[in-house]
Amino acid sequence: MMDAMLTPAPLQPVLPVLENLDYLGIGVFAVSGALVAAHKRQTLVTFVFFAVATGIGGGTLRDLLIGAPVFWVHQNWVLLICIAASLIVWFAPLRIWGGAGLVWFDAVGLAAYATYGSAKALAYGAAYLPAFGMGVLTACAGGIIRDLLAGEPSILLRPELYVTAAAVSAGIMVLLSVVGAPAPLAGAIAAAGGFALRGLAISRGWSLPSYSR
């Protein structure tokens, strides 16, 4: 009885307006991956590799776990977005992105991808808590892969509000779905909420307390 109440109806289509968040997340994360390659003065091949790995990493894990066709395998546009992002970063002077360009691009992608990840998991019949987890995974896995490839400390090991911001977007999306809010409105509010928290964390240095015992 309780499980039935907590499990949404399976295989509902993801609305095109929410798919726009997917495009945004892919593009922005791809740019953030290419920016890491730029800061490390890598070759164009490495730019493309970082952009692809960062752009599709989280979504690939999500689709495998929810039993969906892996979103980039049967279409060209996803890889084309990642390649285009790497070329834009390659040809644009690094100074135009600003010192904080990477973290702000990452913040946009984080909120968009967390929101879409939860929405897609719900559409494929995931229960609400797993759908929340899929949103967080979708948003964070690409950045984790990027940091590992670059030899940087993982975002998971930093006290700043990163995973928490993804959780806010994913949680709002799931909660608004529970109460029956229209999907476009739920998606907009969820993405804005996660981005706002991440933006405040970046600008004001907010972080979670570390273990001290």
For residue range 132-165, list pLDDT tens digits in order.
999 999 999 988 998 899 888 887 777 778 899 9
In tens, the pLDDT along 5-59 reads 444 444 445 556 677 778 888 988 899 899 889 989 999 999 999 999 999 999 9
Q: Is residue 6 part of a domain?
A: no
> Is residue 7 assigned to a domain?
no
User: Which own/partner contact pairs does 12-20 have at CB distance under 8 Å and 24+ positions apart?
Assistant: 12/122, 12/123, 13/123, 14/116, 14/119, 14/120, 14/123, 15/183, 15/184, 17/183, 17/184, 17/187, 18/115, 18/116, 18/119, 18/120, 18/183, 18/184, 18/187, 19/116
| Radius of gyration, alpha carbons of the chain | 17
Residue 147 counted as domain residue = yes
Position 2 confidence tier, pLDDT thresholds 50, 70, 90? very low
How many residues appear in the chain? 213
With 0.75 as the threshold, say if the pTM is over it: yes
Does 2 reside within a domain? no
Give the total number of structural domains in the chain.
1
What pLDDT is recorded for position 24?
82
Instruction: For residue 137, tell me if it sits in a domain.
Output: yes
Residue 210 lies in a domain: no
pLDDT in tens, 83-142: 999 999 999 887 776 666 667 877 888 998 999 999 999 989 999 999 999 999 999 998
Residue 92, both tokens? 């644009």
Question: Residue 98: what pLDDT?
Answer: 64
Q: 180-212 pLDDT, tens per residue?
A: 898 889 999 999 999 999 999 988 888 888 777
The answer as to whether 10 is a domain residue is no
Q: Range of 30's domain?
A: 16-204
Determine the Cα–Cα distance for residues 186 and 123; give it in Å rounded to an integer.
14
Domain membership flag for residue 5: no
Determine contact, residues 81/23, Cβ cutoff 8 Å.
yes
In the prediction, which pLDDT does 4 show?
A: 47
